Structure 1
Amino acid sequence: MGTEMQTVSLSFYRFATPLSRLWALTMMGAARLSLPRIDGLQFWKLCGSGTGEGFTPIPNTSVYAILTVWPDLDRAKQAVAQESIFQRYSAKASEHWTLFLTPYSARGAWSGQSPFVEETPAQTGPIAALTRATVRPVVAAQFWKHVPDISGVIGRDQNVLFKIGIGEVPLFQQITFSIWPDSGSMAAFARNNGPHAQAIRAVRDGNWFREELYARFRVADETGSWEGQSPRILKDIAA
């Protein structure tokens, strides 16, 4: 795979101390001034996370994420390693992990934009799924009632390599992100007639989302560590 393809970097940061967590919270506002000035950056979002595995409406003040979109893999890696905003996050965090992703399927909108450029899907290798939605306030309670069941099903699925719930605005602007060993295992989960499928039907029938986006990616590379070790998404798949 060439490095000229559009690349999405998704960086996770864990903050261990009260002061570093306060810093991370303030950066949800302050980083908005720095990110638009970075050369080559096409799209960006700052995200918090939920407690537990992230799939709850209660904020987790220790974990934050930055999603950025770049013209190619080389620029993405260079920016994450060298741009001052990423260096500041890395210096304050107790650990950090970045995934470099190549979009191969995307539909819907994010803040009125279509940020991901589709490429030809890979035949093998780990696949990442991202779902982002703006929940209509009048149905937020119904939406969150379904989330614990969905989270439990994902957690029990032996194929899922990584999962987290993050969001731009608590309760209303939510993102689910997961990594699977291949497209077949991810599709099998989506087809299963359980809480996930039931929630999808409820979304469609009730028009729960004001805006939604569904994207799939190849995992091109990774750097850093999470939960005290390298997730080794690519190395474990290749072993």
Structure 2
Amino acid sequence: MQTVTLSLFRFDSVAARLWAFGMMAAGRFALPRVPGLKFWKLCGTGTGEGFTPRPNTHVYAILCVWPDAETARNQLERARIFRRYRAHASEAWTVFLAPTSVRGQWAGVTPFQAQTPPETGLLAAMTRATVRPRRAFRFWSRVPDISSVIGADPNVIFKIGIGEVPLLHQVTFSIWPDADSMAAFARDRNGPHAKAIRAVRDENWFREELYARFRVTGERGTWGGVSPLAHNQGHA
């Protein structure tokens, strides 16, 4: 069963942050050599809750697609590039995901293979978009409103904004306790999220879009000194 992992790394010292920045280029040569790795993206993050155009030089992310959970766990533990990231990072956390639905493409391909819809348990939502340069200002003017609503939602368990290219390539990722709470956030027709979706369609903001949902199957490490999933359904 295809497994997707999102790994976050926090770098505190100036030397570590410079190393992580350099790996945004150097990592492109190392990741293709990792056995079993089918698709990968090196990403930076935004400041605050991550949904901002200002980069956070302390936090970086690696998104990976693996053929199965065993390969994912083995390579994340053993592959040299991931060991190097953990050695330089002050903190690292990985969430393991099983795709349940996907629509659209990422860099011209559909990286996730949708599998059996979840029955119960934690769910994650991911949106990825390539913003048309002439629409970037309009897009980023809406994002703070959406970010504040997500942050205030009592149901959201975890959220972060990441991206490959500042301003133009944006990924939002959030974890929810169940499908109902995730749908309730998106359903508010008068909220900033719904208004932004309508603007996407009416004003043709994006050149490429991908929307995916996942079942959360596990985690490794901590974030902010704790497990983000610890007070929800048990995941190893």
| TM-score, with length taken from structure 1 | 0.96
Map of 2:89 onto structure 1:
93
Give the corresponding residue for 1:68.
64
Instruction: Pick one of 218, 234, 237 that aligns with 2:215.
Output: 218
Helix, strand or coil: the match of 1:199?
helix
Instruction: Determine if the alignment matches structure 1 residue 118 to structure 2 residue 84.
Output: no
The reply on whether 1:155 has 2:156 as its aligned counterpart is no
Deviation at 1:39, TM superposition (A): 1.2
- Alignment of 1:182 onto 2:143: no
Distance in 1 separating the partners of 2:40 and 2:118: 25
Compute the displacement of 1:237 (Å).
2.1
Identity over aligned pairs, percent? 64
**Residues 238 and 31 of structure 1: is their aligned pair in 2 closer, same or farther, counting only changes over 3 Å?**
closer
Distance 1:73 1:183 in 2: 23
2:51 pairs with 1:51: no
| Alignment match of 1:208 (pick from 166, 189, 205) | 205
SS at match of 2:232: helix
Matched with 1:143 is 139
Q: 2:34 aligns with which of 38, 45, 49?
A: 38
8 Å Cα contact 2:186-2:194 kept in structure 1:
yes
- Post-superposition Cα deviations, 1:54-108, rounded to whole Å, max 9, x if no partner, equal 1110000000000000000000011111111000000000000000100010000
CA RMSD of superposed structures (Å): 1.0
Q: Please tell me the residue identity of whatever aligns with 1:177.
A: F
State whether structure 2 residue 92 is matched by structure 1 residue 79. no
- Structure 2 unmatched ranges of 5 or more: none
Q: Distance in 1 between matches of 2:22 and 2:95?
A: 24
Partner residue of 1:199?
A: 196
Alpha carbons 2:200, 2:206 under 8 Å: kept: yes
CA drift of 1:29 comes to 0.2
SS at match of 1:186: helix
Give aligned pairs, total: 234
Q: CA deviation at 1:231?
A: 1.6
| TM-score of the superposed pair, with normalisation by structure 2 | 0.97
Determine the structure 2 residue equivalent to 1:229. Answer: 226
